[in-house]
Amino acid sequence: MIVVMKVGCSQGEIGGVIKRIEESGLKTHVSQGVDHWVIGVLGQTFPELHDTLELLPGVEEVIPISKPYKLASREFHPQDTIVKVNDITIGGDEIVVMAGPCAVESEEQLLATAQAVRAVGANVLRGGAFKARTSPYQFRGLGERGLKMLAEAGKETGMPVVTEVMAPSDVELVAEYADILQVGARNMQNFILLDEVGKLKKPVMLKRGLSATIQEWLLAAEYILVQGNEQLILCERGIRTFETYTRNTMDISAIPIIKKVSHLPIIADPSHATGKWYLVAPLALAAVAAGASGLMIEVHPNPDLALADGPQSLTFEEFRRLMSQLPPVAQAMNKKLATSGVEVKS
Amino acid sequence: MIVVMKVGCSQGEIGGVIKRIEESGLKTHVSQGVDHWVIGVLGQTFPELHDTLELLPGVEEVIPISKPYKLASREFHPQDTIVKVNDITIGGDEIVVMAGPCAVESEEQLLATAQAVRAVGANVLRGGAFKARTSPYQFRGLGERGLKMLAEAGKETGMPVVTEVMAPSDVELVAEYADILQVGARNMQNFILLDEVGKLKKPVMLKRGLSATIQEWLLAAEYILVQGNEQLILCERGIRTFETYTRNTMDISAIPIIKKVSHLPIIADPSHATGKWYLVAPLALAAVAAGASGLMIEVHPNPDLALADGPQSLTFEEFRRLMSQLPPVAQAMNKKLATSGVEVKS
Amino acid sequence: MIVVMKVGCSQGEIGGVIKRIEESGLKTHVSQGVDHWVIGVLGQTFPELHDTLELLPGVEEVIPISKPYKLASREFHPQDTIVKVNDITIGGDEIVVMAGPCAVESEEQLLATAQAVRAVGANVLRGGAFKARTSPYQFRGLGERGLKMLAEAGKETGMPVVTEVMAPSDVELVAEYADILQVGARNMQNFILLDEVGKLKKPVMLKRGLSATIQEWLLAAEYILVQGNEQLILCERGIRTFETYTRNTMDISAIPIIKKVSHLPIIADPSHATGKWYLVAPLALAAVAAGASGLMIEVHPNPDLALADGPQSLTFEEFRRLMSQLPPVAQAMNKKLATSGVEVKS
Amino acid sequence: MIVVMKVGCSQGEIGGVIKRIEESGLKTHVSQGVDHWVIGVLGQTFPELHDTLELLPGVEEVIPISKPYKLASREFHPQDTIVKVNDITIGGDEIVVMAGPCAVESEEQLLATAQAVRAVGANVLRGGAFKARTSPYQFRGLGERGLKMLAEAGKETGMPVVTEVMAPSDVELVAEYADILQVGARNMQNFILLDEVGKLKKPVMLKRGLSATIQEWLLAAEYILVQGNEQLILCERGIRTFETYTRNTMDISAIPIIKKVSHLPIIADPSHATGKWYLVAPLALAAVAAGASGLMIEVHPNPDLALADGPQSLTFEEFRRLMSQLPPVAQAMNKKLATSGVEVKS
């Protein structure tokens, strides 16, 4: 932590800052620049100290040096984290494809979709039972009934399932049915929910918030890691910008950045990032080319009849086409599509 | 709802759209523009229809006409909502000032602050017992102990109290102690929490999310209203933009916009909007000049020792100065500072 | 400038950084933090050094300490700059009101507007002769003919005039007719234009770019100041955010921030900030309450017939009403509306 | 254009809107929805009409139906535009790679870079002679001397050259030396410059503005097209968002969107989009995977000694590695790297 003093500050003000730092059990290191005196803080600092020093007389600015997250950072955990779900690995050489409908609507819809995506190479089945919807007048999901259908369709088709949990009090219930629990973008800073999924022994997928910086996202990850759950996957799904053509703007650079500053695996969700089905395939390919460890893709038998997010869902045929375009791009990145997965029951 | 067809679409495609609309029990109205055929949808539409039509062959765009919120809109509720808390009214001719520390830290800190802000005209005491913090290593509040201290300090100084509730399962507990329950910016789209506070018979204050459009904010309000709780106050507290000088950018225009499109009262929180104490007073005055019904201001006996948000907290003296600047601005708006409030116990 | 080294960097890497700094004729100051070695750079740094050091092996981050602007900063120029236009002062105790049509359309339209705004207290006449328009199919202004009409109307009504200059090659021409030259938001980083108006001996008004940070805005101001022109006024006119209800989001906090970090006067343009006439008055009052030294307001005899920006223009009656609301707010800020100005010819 | 009337508007107000539309020589089409009367406008509308109608009594909203750009749109020009520069084609099956230093600094620096990038497959040489710099204290380029060096180095290595033009009065000069004229991000709405390059008979590359929507970008393109120059290339280079880790956020979705709504070729500049050399390669690969027709990459012999943009420049070795990763991704997209180009003089 470095304290920059105001131009023309007094010696008394410099002394006041030093005194406050030393009262916190830390050491200081003072130097005089051309315009500014600068006081370095030596030792393990803490968030409140930043605020304290910023308010002392004569202080221009307090600049943090250490990153505020530790467990999520590559500095303190250099090797890649690889999350295992059955015999699929996320974060290594495999590209995992999670696919399925936005919302679980019925057994028929879900099973048909599961079979269709499985047949062309998807590894994980997605489907929402608890839905976060902008308006109270939209379909909010089937709840536990949906969870059951999802687990059943996963078993039928030999795929682990991923689904969103929205309420801290539902974590236990959702964990009974799901192989991966998703924390959605709107809940990225629902800290009580983060605490709860952090106590699980199951993989969690944490989506980036619509307006979350990469640092805030990693601090949200830190909430989960600090509770002891290290089976954590990040998912870029678009951020909010001034551009209105797409629902959100997919921050493609977040993929190589996360790989640089963190050890956690990162996948991409081009369906939510764009909100338009015809942008899903190009952005899925781009995400893999940028180094993503996987994709989450919305697929629906009849997007025009979907109860949620129809406009961004691929048809079976469109999904099949995307799956045929992925292998050469994966190969160019020295990766391959995950082919493992529990065998379909016969 | 209006469906714009692509340039050069076929008659079959137009027929397909009409058929689908009529299957939903609605009527259509077709007209030919210079470049585009346009199909108007007559009757009560629903969110899913928008998505359905957007995916039909030949469709360029689907444009909604009606606003997606009803109960929150002035169209359907022309007269101003006035929320009453004890004998204070929010949304009428009075300017209400909510003040207090960011976090409840101790009885002494809280009571000293309560007395200081009450003495110069604050009407409602604020203080956080459950704190939403970006990092898991920051102070997260005293919980129920903090609630008790808050209620006690409110009683001592004759002020109703406002405090944040973060978990759906805490709503009942918080409602025991608080006169107004605050839903924070990070929880604006925590829909389960919205459902819960919507079932209360107590005033709720809904802060705008960091990246929420005004329409999304009003849809979040709709979640609460639709559950039956009409004692709802909105609070502008800054949105996330590219500017890094301030923590957030206070959207001053949100104040007159909300007053135009909604009947709900709106107040402003310049402390969180800016993150810097020396910007609080100018933005507080600006908010009142723009038509806000009140302010929420962070005050601390020793901002440099605060456990949360010190840099944006006013000292007692700075708050006193702000309170002396408010009356002429309020008067210029044909309003006056709320002077009511339960008498201080003697 | 401070260089933060990577966790676990080598002594050779630290030596390499020190060597490079010393080769630039500067001194260093090395200290060891808990995780990071930190190297302070002592002496007058330059922009290229930042980039150089960032690329050396072992470097995590380079943090600037000094602000990149000098002439625009209050540190190096503590007293307020007051710009004089005839007998009006901008930046002192007076609130100056610039008003007029978006575009000069005809002698009648302009003179009627000039007389109407003058009658109720406007001090400066605005009107565009060269118009920056998003689409090539929109009205782009009358050019020199418009400049002549503007100067004439100013003389008739005893008001100095402000108008936009868009091309470096037009600066001389516009300066013949205008009392204040405006650099528009889209040209805030048209550096060649900034150079040219910097060579003038006339007041310049520099609008903030749609996506300019406050620091970039002050660096654009620096371009003008470094050429020798110190008669410079800044104008906040809204920034681009995700909110679509308004054309832009007026950054009300920019007003007190500029007053703190710079000595230059700042005014506000609520017409362009919002794009909607019914938001102009509340935001104008808010700007004055936040400390603005003036306002720029679009007024048109018949907004529904305006060739540009009709929806954000006030009618004569709406402007009159705003002018009647301003004095009490100005007074609350210990200011008064500028009443000076050349007498109207009789 | 569709006019939505307010809930409860009067028949007189509806009549007023119809009258105004008919006075403009257009026809109307009135229908009654559940809440709102809706008036369709039939015939060729114009921008001013939108503003006029929005201000009439009883009008809630005016919704445009037609896109505001014509010449840039795929609707009116369905086949892809292919820009030819010597024997390179941009917009077809080839991926063109433009590479070179940010700024031309010296003959040695430029020629060494040109030879290095040419040797591993670059097709076009880039280099700035007129530089747009945020601060007046930064290196602003060598001007005409730099143009000469650039043209010379291009001739030496058999590559056409691309360079930025900043001032309308420099267009003729720059066109003497450059094969492609670049309009930079900060000048995307410098409409006078757009007019000038539109009069050329040479290819122009138009970068997206930092805060430009896709529609505004295409309207800027329209300025050039309407002057008669159809040899136009678009270049995505990142937009301004709240994320501060990167200099800008590359909007990867802009690539497939432009390909859908326009016929113009689009390339990507990951160097400026990110500002960090280690993000350039992943984003370059992502852009090609998303469908870009080419790349613009900054390369420097010694990035740590560069006079501009060192931190985002690749070394020769890093560029060579990127060029070896591109072919398989290009091939996955059914494209190949452009191999044509004038032979190097022997």
Q: pLDDT of B75-132, one tens digit each?
A: 889 999 999 999 899 999 999 999 999 999 999 999 999 999 999 999 999 999 999 8
Using CA atoms, how far apart are residues C338 and A138, in angstroms rounded to an integer?
54
Residue among C21, C28, C34 with most chain A CBs within 10 A, to mutate: C34
Residue D139: list chain C partners with CB under 8 A: 48
At residue C33 the predicted structure's pLDDT band, cuts being 50, 70 and 90, is confident
Q: CA separation (Å) from A3 to A29, A32, A54, A236, C64?
A: 10, 12, 8, 35, 12
pLDDT of C51 higher than 90 = no
Alpha helix segments (H runs only) across D158-237: 171-177, 191-198, 214-226
pLDDT average, residue stretch B148-167: 97
Using CA atoms, how far apart are residues C1 and C45, in angstroms rounded to an integer?
7
Using CA atoms, how far apart are residues B272 and B103, in angstroms rounded to an integer?
13
| Cα C280 from chain centroid (whole Å) | 18
Count Cβ–Cβ pairs < 8 Å, chain B vs chain C: 116
pLDDT of res. A310: 84
Residue among A244, A253, A258, A278 with most chain D CBs within 10 A, to mutate: A253
pLDDT of A281 higher than 50 = yes
- Apex A183 CA angle, A181 and A187, nearest 5: 155
Instruction: Find, among D70, D53, D69, D71, the residue nearest to D61 by Cα.
Output: D53
Instruction: Find, among B232, B163, B162, the residue nearest to B199 by Cα.
Output: B232
pLDDT of res. D307: 85
Q: Say if CB B88 and CB B338 are below 8 A apart.
A: yes
Instruction: Find, among A9, A5, A1, A79, the residue nearest to A40 by Cα.
Output: A1
Instruction: Find, among C213, C281, C212, C273, the residue nearest to C248 by Cα.
Output: C273
Task: Say whether A189 and B186 touch across the interface (CB within 8 A).
Answer: yes
Q: Which of residues 323-342 of D touch C (CB under 8 A)?
A: none
Nearest-10 Cα torsion for B4, B8, B9, B15:
90
Task: Say whether B213 and C244 touch across the interface (CB within 8 A).
Answer: yes
- Of the partner residues A244, A288, A291, the one whose CB lies closest to the CB of residue D213: A244
Q: What are the residue ranges in chain D where pLDDT is below 50?
A: 342-346
ipTM: 0.93
pLDDT of res. D346: 38
Q: D324-331: which pairs have CB atoms within 8 A and are 24 or more residues apart?
A: D324/D120, D325/A332, D325/D281, D325/D285, D326/D95, D326/D97, D326/D284, D326/D285, D326/D288, D328/A328, D328/A331, D328/A332, D329/A289, D329/A329, D329/A332, D329/D285, D329/D288, D329/D289, D330/D95, D330/D288, D331/A328
Task: Say whether A65 and C33 touch across the interface (CB within 8 A).
Answer: yes
Q: Say if CB B218 and CB B250 are below 8 A apart.
A: no
Task: Determine the residue type at A171.
Answer: V
At residue C341 the predicted structure's pLDDT band, cuts being 50, 70 and 90, is low
pLDDT average, residue stretch A65-69: 85
Cα separation of the two ends of chain D: 62
Q: Is D7 on the interface with B (CB under 8 A)?
A: yes
Positions of E strands within A220-335:
232-236, 266-268, 294-298
> In the structure encoding, which two tokens stand for residue D258, read together?
């432009």
* Ranges C36-50, C154-168, C295-309, D299-313: which has the least confidence: C36-50
- Apex C71 CA angle, C69 and C74, nearest 5: 85
Q: Give residues with Cβ within 8 angstroms of A291, minimum separation 6.
A: A255, A256, A259, A333, D282
Q: Which of residues 140-159 of A touch D (CB under 8 A)?
A: none
Measured between CA atoms, the residue of chain B closest to residue D64 is: B63
pLDDT average, residue stretch B56-79: 90
Instruction: Find, among D321, D303, D324, the residue nearest to D312 by Cα.
Output: D303
Using CA atoms, how far apart are residues C174 and C128, in angstroms rounded to an integer?
11
Residue C40: list chain A partners with CB under 8 A: 31, 33, 38, 40
Instruction: Find, among B70, B43, B49, the residue nearest to D32 by Cα.
Output: B43
Using CA atoms, how far apart are residues A48 and A52, in angstroms rounded to an integer?
6
Q: Which of residues 33-72 of B touch A (CB under 8 A)?
A: 46-48, 51-56, 68-69
Which strand (E) or helix (H) includes residue C180? strand C180-183
Q: How many C-beta atoms lie closer than 10 Å to residue D11's C-beta?
A: 9
Instruction: List, for residues C96-105, the tens digit of each pLDDT value.
Output: 999 999 999 9
pLDDT of res. B346: 38
Q: Is A138 on the interface with B (CB under 8 A)?
A: yes
Share of chain C above pLDDT 70, in %: 98
Residue D32: list chain B partners with CB under 8 A: 42
pLDDT of A340 higher than 70 = no
Judging by DSSP bridges, how do beta strands A83-85 and A266-268 pair with one another?
unpaired
- Of the partner residues C42, C241, C242, the one whose CB lies closest to the CB of residue A33: C42
pLDDT of B342 higher than 50 = no
Burial C85-103 (b: 16+ CB within 10 A, else e): beebbbbbebbbbbbbbbb
Judging by DSSP bridges, how do beta strands C180-183 and C161-164 pair with one another?
parallel
Using CA atoms, how far apart are residues C218 and D332, in angstroms rounded to an integer?
47
Task: Say whether A34 and C42 touch across the interface (CB within 8 A).
Answer: yes
Task: Say whether B54 and A140 touch across the interface (CB within 8 A).
Answer: no
SS3 A325: helix
> In the structure encoding, which two tokens stand for residue B92, read together?
């009428």
pLDDT of res. C102: 95
Q: Which of residues 75-104 of B touch A (CB under 8 A)?
A: none
φ/ψ bin of D177: left (φ > 0), alpha (ψ from -120 to 50), beta (otherwise)? alpha
- Of the partner residues B68, B186, B311, the one whose CB lies closest to the CB of residue A55: B311
Q: Say if CB A147 and CB A153 are below 8 A apart.
A: no
- The Cα of B301 is separated from the nearest Cα of chain C by a number of Å equal to 24
Beta-bridge mates of residue A295: A97, A268
Give every strand in the sheet of D37-42, ordered side by side.
D27-32, D37-42, D2-5, D59-63
Q: What is the CA radius of gyration of chain C?
A: 23
Q: Give residues with Cβ within 8 angstroms of D274, minimum separation 6.
A: A253, D238, D246, D247, D248, D250, D280, D283, D312
Measured between CA atoms, the residue of chain B closest to residue A191 is: B132
Q: Give residues with Cβ within 8 angstroms of C59, minimum separation 6.
A: C3, C4, C5, C6, C9, C13, C17, C53
Share of chain B above pLDDT 70, in %: 98
pLDDT average, residue stretch B4-22: 92
Alpha helix segments (H runs only) across chain C: 11-23, 47-54, 107-119, 144-157, 171-177, 191-198, 214-226, 254-261, 270-274, 277-289, 316-332
Using CA atoms, how far apart are residues B56 and B49, in angstroms rounded to an integer?
11
Burial A26-55 (b: 16+ CB within 10 A, else e): bebbebebebbbbbbbbeebebbbbbbbbb
- Of the partner residues A213, A255, A285, the one whose CB lies closest to the CB of residue D243: A213
Handedness of CA C186, C188, C194, C197 (dihedral sign): positive
Task: Say whether D134 and C56 touch across the interface (CB within 8 A).
Answer: no
Which chains have 3 or more CB–CB distances shorter than 8 Å to chain D?
A, B, C
Which chains have 3 or more CB–CB distances shorter than 8 Å to chain A?
B, C, D
- The Cα of D311 is separated from the nearest Cα of chain C by a number of Å equal to 6
Q: CA separation (Å) from B17 to B10, B58, C315, D117?
A: 11, 9, 44, 54
Using CA atoms, how far apart are residues A274 and A243, in angstroms rounded to an integer?
11
Q: Say if CB C230 and CB C198 are below 8 A apart.
A: no
Beta-bridge mates of residue D96: D294
Instruction: List, for residues A220-277, the tens digit of each pLDDT value.
Output: 999 999 999 999 999 999 999 999 999 999 999 999 999 999 999 999 999 999 999 9
Instruction: List, for residues B291-300, the tens digit of each pLDDT value.
Output: 999 999 999 9
pLDDT of res. A229: 97
pLDDT of res. C296: 98
At residue C48 the predicted structure's pLDDT band, cuts being 50, 70 and 90, is confident
SS3 A204: strand
Residue C307: list chain D partners with CB under 8 A: 48
Q: CA separation (Å) from B290 to C282, C318, C325?
A: 4, 16, 12
Q: Is B245 on the interface with A (CB under 8 A)?
A: no
- Of the partner residues D137, D140, D303, the one whose CB lies closest to the CB of residue C55: D303
- The Cα of D11 is separated from the nearest Cα of chain A by a number of Å equal to 32
